[in-house]
Amino acid sequence: MVKRLKLTVKILFVLLISFPSAHLVSFAAYPISTSADQAILIEAESGRVLYEQNAHQEQKIASITKIMTAHLAVQHGNLDEMVKISPEASVTEGSSLYLKAGQKVSLRDLVYGLLLRSGNDSAVAIAEHVGGSVEKFSDLMNEEAKRIGMKNSHFTNPHGLDLDNEHYSSSFDMALLTKEALKDKQFAKIFGTKSHKGESVDPAPFWSNKHRLVTGMYPHATGGKTGYTKLAGRTLVTSAKRDGMTLIVVTIRASNDWNDHIQLFEYGFKNYHQTTILSPDTIPPLPGQNENEFYTLTDPFRYPLTEKEQGLLTIEGKISHNHKKPPIVAVKLDDKVIHKQELIRELRKDPSSPGWFSRFIEKVSFW
């Protein structure tokens, strides 16, 4: 059996995970009803969808568009640069920072004003500075949407005003965007700021965040963006963190969005718990391997699980005998692969003692 040496390692025992006792409390799932045309709840690290309602439908999204604008400003701009406000930006309709043509404002303050006060003039100024024009910036928005995997989105402006019927997205796509944007610490800080003084603006204004969950209505909220137009209705994006797990909620055309978001967060936090499934460490030699042949897991893997799902995990490892293909560890939840990771092979003259993998190596089957 060992001579075949196309070793498939299947973990049949799930005690590799150390579950804190508090995470084993049983919570009954309860039915969810929102006021939204579409809604979604995802976990921000893995992107796992915990709840969805018409989440892939193309719809107008109003000012939550500005999450993309701010994301691109952080990624492609220098926040300390000064931006000269154009006549076109200064007369943009809708919510405004009341910027004047010829005025110079730091890109950082423009992004704060964009996310906290939803300034449409700020959105145009950012687009012109980062992209060269609103049209070129819209192209950049669509390129980034494609890169992220936003399949039901198309952008034609940086603010979300209803200028045409070609500007749209979905709650799923906006959750993907928020997940990506939150990876940047500068974006995350601005996204979650309750108030900001625009030091580069003369006279310096004091901006308070319009998002009520962020400013105190929900204690676990870590950031968010509001939106509204007559055609789009109320749109809202919020992130929240509890017990080491960050969740993202997006609703589109929701008349009771504040409460919708709180309800979805509470559902997520009560029923799912962030679980460490793989930890970076070295796997000791398996049967049939050279005693100096080791494989290393380099990246941790965490995933939100319900209590019931904790008993449905398996881990499989495949190592080819000729080493032409990199060895792989796959994590399955109820026979569905939720994560794959390549192992790094190394030969050691003086092998060190094995790590966490040795705790359950006796529970492994080989064939």
Which pLDDT score, from 0 to 100, does residue 357 have? 47
The span from the CA of 271 to the CA of 161, in Å, is: 37
The span from the CA of 354 to the CA of 12, in Å, is: 20
The span from the CA of 168 to the CA of 170, in Å, is: 7
Mark whether 171 is an active-site residue: no
Which member of 60, 63, 86, 170 is catalytic?
63
Query: For residues 7 and 177, which has the higher predicted lDDT (pLDDT)?
Result: 177
Mark whether 118 is an active-site residue: yes
Q: What is the full DSSP assignment across 86-136?
A: PHHHHT--SS-----TT-EEEHHHHHHHHHHH--HHHHHHHHHHHHSSHHH
**Single pTM value for the model:** 0.86
Which pLDDT score, from 0 to 100, does residue 93 have? 97
Which pLDDT score, from 0 to 100, does residue 322 have? 65
Q: Range(s) for CATH 3.40.710.10 in the chain?
A: 36-255
Fold of 36-255: Beta-lactamase (3.40.710)
Yes or no: say if 29 and 254 are a contact pair by the CB < 8 Å rule. no
Which member of 60, 66, 179, 210 is catalytic?
66
Mark whether 66 is an active-site residue: yes
What are 314-336's pLDDT values in tens digits?
998 877 766 677 788 899 999 89
What are 218-239's pLDDT values in tens digits?
999 999 999 999 999 999 999 9
Which member of 95, 106, 118, 239 is catalytic?
118
Pairing of strands 233-242, 36-43: unpaired
Those residues with Cβ within 8 angstroms of residue 154's Cβ, 6 or more apart along the chain or in another chain: 142, 145, 166, 167, 168, 169
Which pLDDT score, from 0 to 100, does residue 2 have? 29
Of 161, 158, 115, the C-alpha closest to 138 is 158
